[in-house]
Amino acid sequence: MRAASVLLGLAASALAAPSLTPRDGDQFKDGQPISKDGKGGRILGGTNKALDLQNPDNLGRQPTDAGAVPNLKWSFSDSKTRILKGGWVREQVVTDLPSSHDIAGAQQHLTKGAIRELHWHKVAEWGIVYNGRITISAVDENGVFQATEIGYGDVWYFPPGVAHTVQGLDDENEFLLIFDETDFDKIGTTFNLDDWVAHTPKDILAKNFGVPESIFKDVPATNPYILNATVATKNVTGAVTPEAKGDASFVYRTLQHPPEKIGGSGGTFYKIDSTNFPIAKEIAATFVTLKPGGLRELHWHPNAEEWLYFHKGQARASAFIGNGASRTFDFSAGDTAVFPTNSGHYIENTSKDEDLVWIEIYKSDRVADISLSQWLALTPPEIAAQTLKVPVDFIEKIKREKQVLIE
């Protein structure tokens, strides 16, 4: 009996969990899920080292992360690039980022003279130029038209059904496209001019325009999407309908307006929605620059999901989706992200010497957020203090206005 007891004791000791041994430091920045308090261990199987190094928070670096939060990030570098004569395009749609329920995005590149063929969409289109110059041209159901040159930081908006096209003016031109439909590639969403004409009987075309059928003998059998061309030099003449100007314009020249007045001094914050760009009734946006080490304060959006495109720099953000579930993500230029409606989050510039530049998109007519700091500051201080178990004077000292961008 005594021998059996000894053996059982030895077995129990062998099966007992080993104690955690503190380490000199964590190894997340080295691409290993090892914390300084002894948790984790080296990855021994197959792994993408470059991705691990780019995403240290995916390795468990934040002890505040918990619960099951779906993936909220997609990089345009992971998208299939469609190469064409005159440019390229790469998309992020619902199959790439299923967590995005409102917005699809794309990067598009045009060489000088190249045309994104004439077309229209069932959904709204929003775009911003971040390199070069392009001509945008559009016509609505009342014949209101506009053909104008736009450049860096300029935004355009085409309501659903508006006929339009864009043409590159500089040697290399590139822009971000946004659509308020995540399944953007499905049939019945985009309608290309050549595609339609090629599938219409030539006698009908001739009758419609009052010309011989031979006029249409060279119409492409398949739509080119992007085509090489020369820069247009002729303007529209003899129009009997008005040109889109002022509040009716399809264009908003962001940097010709002052940034929003905010409480913080961490950067610049441009709002682009129906309050200053009246035609943009389905898509609202911001254009944000955050200083090195700065913070987009803790907040949430009550009216829509937030879709983001990171244009420059490096960032970190955590999304809290309720019920103890939170997850931290690392971002760099070319990444897109989505924060669910009403989820609490922040964005931090993790660089010490480079600005963080990003664009926020909302399927809404306006930009709206609720600031955590302002909420606490405008709540009876004893209630807020007792809830968080913090000193009352901490609550009383919180600034009453939104800080937005904190230095």
Return the active site residues.
Answer: 360
Task: Please indicate if the annotation marks 345 as binding a ligand.
Answer: yes
Nearest by Cα to 134 from 105, 104, 156: 156
Q: How far, in Å, are 117, 132, 151, 196 from residue 86 at the CA level?
A: 11, 15, 19, 22
Task: Please indicate if the annotation marks 117 as binding a ligand.
Answer: no
Q: What angle do CA 366, 367, 373 make, to 5 degrees?
A: 145
Q: How many CB atoms lie within 10 A of CB 125?
A: 24
Task: Please indicate if the annotation marks 125 as binding a ligand.
Answer: yes
CB 132 within 8 A of CB 174: yes
CA dihedral 208, 213, 218, 219 (to 10 degrees): 20
Task: Please indicate if the annotation marks 164 as binding a ligand.
Answer: yes
Burial of 43 (0-12, 13-18, 19+ CB in 10 A): middle
Distance CA 46, CA 54 (A): 17
CB neighbour list of residue 99: distance below 8 Å, 6 or more residues apart: 70, 71, 72, 338, 340
Task: Please indicate if the annotation marks 297 as binding a ligand.
Answer: no
Distance CA 146, CA 250 (A): 7
Task: Please indicate if the annotation marks 311 as binding a ligand.
Answer: no
Sign of the CA dihedral with 120 first, then 121, 124, and 125 last: negative
Task: Please indicate if the annotation marks 301 as binding a ligand.
Answer: yes
Task: Please indicate if the annotation marks 306 as binding a ligand.
Answer: yes
β-strand partners of 83:
88
Annotated binding site: 119, 121, 125, 164, 299, 301, 306, 345
Which residues sit in the known binding site for Mn(2+)?
A: 119, 121, 125, 164, 299, 301, 306, 345
